[in-house]
Amino acid sequence: MSIFGSMKTAVSGMNAQANRLSTVADNIANVNTTGYKSVSTSFSSLVLPSSGGNYNSGGVQSSVRQSVSDQGDISYTTSGTDLAISGDGFFIVQGADGTPVLTRAGDFTKDDEGNLVNAAGFMLMGYSYDAGSPAVVVNGFDGLVPVNVNQEGLTAIASTSGVFKGNLDSGANIAPVAPATLPSANAATTTADTKKFSMVAYDTLGNKVMYDFYFTKTSVAATPPPAPPAVNSSWQVAIFRNANAATGGTTSFPYSAGGAVGTTTLDFDATGKITNSTGTVNIADTVTGQTIKMDLSGFTQLGAAFAGTGTPNGQAASPVKDVTIDGDGIVYAKYEDGTNKPLYRIPLANVASPDKLTLQSGNVYSANGQSGVTVTGFPQTNGLGTIKSGALEGSNVDLAGELTEMIESQRSYTANSKVFQTGSDIMDVLVNLKR
């Protein structure tokens, strides 16, 4: 046995325990760091070959393991921009150098420019809705921009399309088919079975524009056996600007300024389903200069009362009251009039082996050859977790366990130092043999 070998073995043991104590110190220091993932020290033996009955002591080496994949406890806060991930995935953030990295730290607040920045100064990245509903880039970070929630001033969005659906009473009588008596001809009167609905849309300045929809049954087909015809009945749809309606009389007719701004015919089969291939009508408003494409394919003709509801797009001029984020990662601007507008969609990213990610300052991670490539997706898709707004993920450090590790590391370090000291004493005995 080599006396120097035993002393070197003791030194390797002290070094290993010092590394263990370093990870314990790091964990305890970050016990309250948002999204922090604990690290631990594992040991493996180093064995030297022995021969002739002599044993050569080897040593021990330490390696650091991360517990990135272990979920921390989620607690709720009073800030809507605090975000936590329940499940797998990481937020994509960007530092001052412009390099995208990954993090679980979702303690985001607005900076002076309105960007969402966490406590370490990393900006949250997302896809903008400026060009419509975004699509995710699954194998990269292209298209991501900083999420900015500075929405000042008033915003108005003109109506370009809408959906109008409901039911037309199949028991309604047929209107006189003379063109002069139909609403589309802007007649002075309409039949008792003509049904009127109204809908509000918005012009380019956010002003409300109301349109009156008139539905009049114009034909009913005979149904001789053995099979019903493809078209069982037809209804004329005529649309007028409410602002052009006549005043002072008992009816809104005649409408001024050119009459109807849109007309179409809806055909129904014997089961009350619409048979038109498109079931749409364009509102061509010469006053606002807008064309609004209305989808009427949701109408039915059944033996029930008249009913209708319209949901056009667009928005009145309104200030932003708040910004909200849902579980799918969509950032909405909530306006004072109660409407919501999507601004960004926050993606999540993941790797095959999160525990092998490279840890960097600021509680962020970058992918490497051992972790696997980064795959990006929207929350609740492809195994990714859910984003919880107004919540934070705490560290996954077990403080009681770390204090136990500290005591064990201290005792082990002391024991290794005793081995070193004993070897040193033996060397003194050996040196003193010469005297």
| Cβ atoms of 394 and 72 closer than 8 Å | yes
CATH number for the segment(s) 159-313: 2.60.98.20
Question: 84: alpha, beta or left, given left = phi > 0 and alpha = psi -120 to 50?
Answer: beta
| Cβ atoms of 219 and 301 closer than 8 Å | no
Q: Return d(Cα 200, Cα 209) in angstroms, integer.
A: 6
pLDDT at 435: 64
Q: Return d(Cα 371, Cα 365) in angstroms, integer.
A: 10
Q: Is 49 helix (H, G, I), strand (E, B) or coil?
A: coil
Amino acid at 258: G
Return the DSSP state at 112: T
pLDDT at 308: 93
> 46: Cβ–Cβ under 8 A, 6 or more apart, which residues?
12, 58, 59, 60, 61
Q: Return d(Cα 344, Cα 336) in angstroms, integer.
A: 19
Spell out, as residue ranges, where the chain has pLDDT lower than 70: 1, 152-153, 175-180, 189, 222-229, 434-435
Q: Please, is 151 exposed, middle or buried when counting C-beta atoms within 10 Å of its C-beta (0-12, 13-18, 19+)?
A: middle
Amino acid at 166: G
Q: Return d(Cα 184, Cα 233) in angstroms, integer.
A: 18
pLDDT at 59: 84
**Residue position matching structure tokens 């409410």:** 242
CATH 2.60.98.20 intervals, the chain: 159-313
Two structure tokens written together for 9:
């073995």
pLDDT at 70: 94
| Cβ atoms of 192 and 169 closer than 8 Å | no
pLDDT at 10: 87
Angle at 113 between CA 112 and CA 117, to 5 degrees: 75
**Residue position matching structure tokens 């880039």:** 137
> 385: Cβ–Cβ under 8 A, 6 or more apart, which residues?
85, 86, 87, 88, 89, 348, 379
Residues 371-386 have pLDDT tens digits of 999 999 999 998 999 9
